[in-house]
Chains A and B, each alone.
Chain A
C-alpha cells in the first residue's frame, strides 16, 4: 500500500476542517482526528521501509507544477504533526470549548486545521516555491492561533512580536529560496551536494529556519508567544511548529553542500542555546514561560547533534561513525521533545484552566486535587530532564554516545566534543532543577492562594491526550531498539553514505536496563504503597521552623528556590530587583520583587530599535508638506550631483 490515498484523505479532512470548523464542533473533532490518524499511518508506511512516495501533477500553482515527495526524513516529522496535532485537537475540545469561549473557539478550530494543513504541505513540498508559500501560510495561521485570546493586551503584544520576528525569518528564507532557484535554474528541490557554489546559502537558511526553531539569540519571540497562547496552541507550537525550523535545517543541510565552518557554528550555537535556554527557564516564575525556555534548551540539544553530524560529514562521511549517532540522537530528540513538551504544556494548561494563573508562587499543593495531571506532569518532567527509564534519556544518550565516540577518535572534533559534553551535562542538571522547581511549586506543599485551594481535576477530553502522549514517552523509553530503524532510515536520507547502519550494540542493552529500571521503580512504588497502607496514614505538619502558626506563605517561593542557581547566570539574566527591607522593632511593610527581563529583547534589540526610531523620527521631520522646501531639496540634490560630476570629471 502506498501512502498516497492516506495523504489524500488527510488533506481532504483538513480542508473540510477549515470549512466546517467554525460550525460543527463534534464533526470537526472526528474529522480532524481521522486526518491525524491518516497522517500517522502514511508516515508509518514510509518509516517501516516503504519506498519514497512521489506525486507530480501538471496542475500549476504560481507557474510551477505541483510536486510532492514523502521520504523517511519528512515522514519522521509528519508522524509528529499527526500525533501532536491529533492530541491538541482532542485537548482543545474541552480546554478551549465553545461554552467558555463562544467567539474564539470556532475561529480556533478553523485556524488549527489551516495550520496542520500548511505544515503537512510544507513537509511534502518538493518545490521551493510551494515550500515557501506553505511556510508563510503556516506562520500566519500560527499567528492567528497565538492571538485567539486577543482581548488581552499581552497576547496581542506577543502576537505582534511573533509576527515581526517570523517575518524577519521569512525575509531570509525568501532570499534563500530565490537565490537557490536562480543559481540552480529551477525551483525543484532535491539533493544538490555537487554544486559547491551553493554552500554559502546555508547561512541564510540557518538564520531563517533557526529563528523559527528558536535558536539563541533569535529566540526572542518564543517565550512570550508560547506563554500567552492557549495551552493547546502552545503544545502545538512547541511540539511541532518550532520543529519545522529544525526540519528546514536538517532538510537543507542534507541537500546542500555545507562547509565545515557551518557545522561548527551550528554545534556552537546549539551548545549556547541549550545552556542559556535552560538558565532562563530555571529563573522563570511563570510556568508556561519556563516550559517555553525549556523548548529553547531542547532545540539547543538537537542543534548540537545536527552540528556534530555536519562536522563529521565534512571530515569524510564514511569514516566518522559518531556523526550518524549524533544525528540519530538529534532526530529522535525531535520526536521525544514533541511528545513530552506537548504533555507538559497540556499539564500546564489543565492547571491554568482550573486556577487561572501562570504564577507558580500562587499555586501549590495541587496534587491532591489533580492527581492525574500531577502524575502525568511528573512523568513528562522526568522525561524532559533526561532521566531513565524514559525517552528523553534515550535520545540524549545517543547524542552523548556520538560525542564520546568523537572524543575517542582523537580528531579535531574531539576538542569541541569534550566541552559540548560538559555543557550538555550542565544543561541536563539545570533541566532537572528547573522541573523539580516547577513540579514542587505547583503540585507539592500546601495551596498558597484561594484558586489553588479550589482547584479540580481536568475532564476526560484533556486527560486522554495526556495519557496518549505519556504512553509514547514510555514506549520510546522502554523499547528504543524498535524505534531505531525508523530514525536510521531518516539518517540514511540525510546522508546516503550512512544508510543501512545497524543499531549500536549498547542500544539493546539500554532497552533492557530501562525495562528493569522501570520494573524496579514500579516494584518500589508498590512496596511503599503497601507499607503505607499497612501502617495507616497519619497526617501532621512538616517541620514548622519553630513558628507557632505556620501559614502557606512561609513556603519556598519559585524565586527563592532558584535564587542560587539563577545567581550563577546573573550576567545574562540581568534580574531586576526591588528590595524594601523591614525596619525597626515593629516593621509594617517589606517588599522584595524580582523580575527576569527578556535580556536579548530588552537589553539589546530594544535600545537598538529605539535609536532607529529616534533617527527615523528626526528624518521624518524633513517630510513636512511644504512644497517649497521639497523643491529646495531637489535643487540641493541637483547641485550636489553637479558638484560631484564637476569634481569627478577633472583629470
Chain B
C-alpha cells in the first residue's frame, strides 16, 4: 500500500512535468525548442507504464521502450531533418499570440482538472492526475494546431494531442493488447513520415511552409 502511494506520487509528478512541458510547447517561439519539448514529453510518457506496474512485465517494458524510442528520438529526429532539408525558418509564426496561447493552455489545464472531478472515475484513478493530464494535453494539442501556422509546428500539435490520448490509454493499460499500442505508435510514425514528405512538397510548391497558404487549394 505504501509502495503504491509512492508510485502514484511519482506518476503524478511525471504527469505534472508533462503538463508543464505542454505550457513550454505553447510558449516556445522557436521550432527546435518546440520539438525538444515534445520529445521530452514523449520520453516522460514512455516511462510511465513501467511505474504503473507492480511487478516486471515484458510486454509493458517493450511498450515503454518502444514509446520512448519513437516519441523521444525517432520522430523528433525526423522533424529536425525535415526542418534542415527544407531549410525552414526557425520562427514559429503564431496566429494566436504566445500570451494568449499560454492563457488558453493554463485555462484548459484548470478546466481539465475541474472536469475530471465531475467524471465518474474508478476509485483507483480518482486520485491520480492521469485524466486531467490527458485532457489538458489534448486541449494543448488543439491550441497548437489552431494557433501555429507552420507545418512542422502542426505536427508537434498532433504529437501533443496524441500524447494526451496515450495518457488516457494508460488507464486501460491492462485491458489494451500490445498490438493496439503498437498500432497506435505505427500510425503516428507513418503520419509523421507522410507529413515529412508533404512538408517537402509544400515547400517546393509554395516556397513556404505556411499552411495558411494552402487555402488556395480549396474548390
Residues of A within 8 A of B (CB): 623-629, 631-632, 634-635, 646
Contact = CB atoms under 8 A, between A and B. Distances in A.
A635 B212 contact: no
B215 A631 contact: no
Interface stretch (B36-44, B59-67, B81-89, B143-151): B143-151
B105 to A, nearest CB: 13
Nearest to A634: B142
Contact of A628 (B118, B211, B216, B218): B211
B209 to A, nearest CB: 13
A429 to B, nearest CB: 56
B217 interface: yes
Contact of A625 (B147, B149, B154, B218): B218
Contacts of A631: 142, 145-146
A624 B147 contact: no
B147 to A, nearest CB: 7
B95 interface: yes
A552 to B, nearest CB: 57
Nearest to A626: B215
Contacts of B142: 631-632, 634-635
A628 B95 contact: yes
A90 B150 CA distance: 71
A247 B214 CA distance: 55
B81 to A, nearest CB: 23
A624 B219 CA distance: 9
Contacts of B215: 624-626
A627 B211 contact: yes
Contacts of B216: 625
A650 to B, nearest CB: 9
Contacts of B145: 627-628, 631
5 contacts: A626-B212, A627-B145, A627-B214, A628-B149, A632-B146
Contacts of B212: 626, 628
Given A625-B216, A626-B215, A646 B118 contact: yes
Contacts of B149: 628
A626 B145 CA distance: 11
A628 B214 contact: no
Contact of A635 (B146, B211, B217): B146
Interface of B: 95, 118, 142, 145-147, 149, 154, 211-212, 214-218
Given A632-B146, A634-B142, 4 more contacts: A625-B217, A626-B212, A627-B145, A631-B145
Contacts of A635: 142, 146
Contacts of A646: 118
Interface of A is mostly: helix
Contacts of A624: 215, 218
Contacts of A626: 212, 215
Contacts of A627: 145, 154, 211, 214
Contacts of B154: 627
A622 to B, nearest CB: 11
Contacts of B95: 628
Q: Which of B118, B146, B154, B215 has the most CB of A within 10 A?
A: B146
A635 B147 CA distance: 13
A626 B216 CA distance: 9
B3 to A, nearest CB: 36
A310 B17 CA distance: 80
B217 A628 contact: no
A433 B118 CA distance: 80
Contacts of B218: 623-625
A632 B144 CA distance: 11
A635 B157 CA distance: 14
Contacts of A625: 214-218
B93 to A, nearest CB: 12
A645 to B, nearest CB: 11
B142 to A, nearest CB: 5
A468 B117 CA distance: 89
Contacts of A629: 146
A632 B141 CA distance: 11
Nearest to A638: B142
B217 to A, nearest CB: 6
Nearest to A625: B215
A623 B217 CA distance: 12
A546 to B, nearest CB: 70
A338 B82 CA distance: 75
Nearest to B118: A646
A646 B115 CA distance: 9
A629 B147 CA distance: 9
A253 to B, nearest CB: 45
Contacts of A634: 142
